[in-house]
Structure 1
């Protein structure tokens, strides 16, 4: 973990997976809204350093494996001591390890569940008590996936983990009310480096095949996901909790 520096101005937000892709767009938006951001990352120190250079003193990258409950508890104590209690917690970090079910190892199953589902649990469990005791309303946004509702091949671990995140969201919304609102933000196909590689979107034919399935006729942007985050943490959604917000251009209409 990197050493934390104290800050006094602006409300605090903690964003897991907050140094690249959708998470980085969320960090940028939160800073634009006046938050200080502790952005958790696991492996990509280069992306974290670049984000820190870009976003300046309001941005604090912190290396952490959210699958490790003990490490999360220790890091949360450090964040609370150095930065205070977060007003916003965004559980965005996640991994894919795709395999056909009959070829999936126990380790591949566990690693995805431990990161995507248990990691969300660990962070909520570590920060929610302070958020509840702070005397002010807070917001938790768990980032889900469309495959948490609609299954796909070769992703039993990922689909199960994201379905669990959706149900965890609802349970937390019940138990942390009325002080903390908890909602699930579900992005659809969103233009990130990972998505381009995974779906070969640099191939015009592959991109066209994907786009034909999206009623809006294009792939979404990370800024549009950040727009949804801004809504979910802001006063316009003050009566919204325990819900899922799907930002997918109409690709899946549930």
Structure 2
């Protein structure tokens, strides 16, 4: 029996890397898209020989995304799981956001998943189904200062999830996985969590009294795409230790 294929965008670093690893552990071959960090991509391939292949893809460019999807189908087959995980932040006060700041974030975080899913869904439907998991953000539900572009992109991704669940179901299930405060290098830098006072303030907001791990997010992904999640469709699954409770 051929091993199932998964495609994970932003799948070579942070949360995306852990999602790639979990899918490999579940017996999948993985194609991981990346954009800027070739060193991380090479390490991923070296750590998972024959199980993980990387491709450099600019998700903000529609034609590039469609060409990448065609290449995946031709060289690797039809994905059973598509994880739209890649995202970019360009934070500025609203009155200082440029058109390029707006377009780059919206095109990468929202349009990229739209184009990629649209390019792969026909093959997935013909193959008998699969799963699309859009990785959202809590700021897609609760806004924050200096993040109008990012918050709008993630709010749109949540609504796109619901629309795709309506149109692609029952053959393809589409859900939105929303991490909370997850321990990655980016989070620690952005939130200055190496400062004990900042860490204490953050933990005060989380009933579980801990920062989440990338493994916590991977556990949720395994539930969504596995048999135990077979009746989950068009939903948001928030993995945040109870911080927001939406």
Interval containing the TM-score (normalised by the shorter chain): over 0.9
Match of 1:13 among 3, 6, 11: 6
Q: Which consecutive aligned stretches of 4+ in structure 1 deviate over 4 angstroms post-superposition?
A: none
Shift of 1:9: 3.8
Q: Provide the rounded CA distance (Å) in 1 between the counterparts of 2:144 and 2:69.
A: 34
Q: Provide the rounded CA distance (Å) in 1 between the counterparts of 2:108 and 2:69.
A: 16
Q: Provide the rounded CA distance (Å) in 1 between the counterparts of 2:61 and 2:38.
A: 18
In structure 1, the residue matched to 2:117 is 124
Q: Provide the rounded CA distance (Å) in 1 between the counterparts of 2:69 and 2:141.
A: 31
Q: Provide the rounded CA distance (Å) in 2 between the counterparts of 1:150 and 1:55.
A: 37
TM-score of the superposed pair, with normalisation by structure 2: 0.98
In structure 2, the residue matched to 1:220 is 212
In structure 2, the residue matched to 1:82 is 75
In structure 1, the residue matched to 2:48 is 55
Shift of 1:133: 0.8
Give 5+ residue unaligned stretches, structure 2: none
The worse-fitting range, judged by mean Cα deviation, of 237-246 and 50-59 is 50-59
In structure 1, the residue matched to 2:164 is 172
- CA-to-aligned-CA distance 1:170-196 (integer Å, 9 cap, x gap): 000000011000000000000001101
2:156 partner SS: helix
Shift of 1:208: 1.3
Shift of 1:137: 2.6
The worse-fitting range, judged by mean Cα deviation, of 200-209 and 115-124 is 200-209
Shift of 1:20: 0.4
In structure 2, the residue matched to 1:160 is 152
Q: Provide the rounded CA distance (Å) in 1 between the counterparts of 2:189 and 2:44.
A: 21
1:100 aligns with 2:82: no
Q: Provide the rounded CA distance (Å) in 2 between the counterparts of 1:55 and 1:153.
A: 39
- CA-to-aligned-CA distance 1:181-231 (integer Å, 9 cap, x gap): 000000000000110111111111111111111110010000000000000
The worse-fitting range, judged by mean Cα deviation, of 149-158 and 197-206 is 197-206
- CA-to-aligned-CA distance 1:89-131 (integer Å, 9 cap, x gap): 0000000100110111111011100000001101101111100
Q: Provide the rounded CA distance (Å) in 2 between the counterparts of 1:192 and 1:43.
A: 17
Give 5+ residue unaligned stretches, structure 1: 1-7
Match of 2:238 among 224, 246, 249: 246
The worse-fitting range, judged by mean Cα deviation, of 80-89 and 201-210 is 201-210
1:56 partner SS: coil
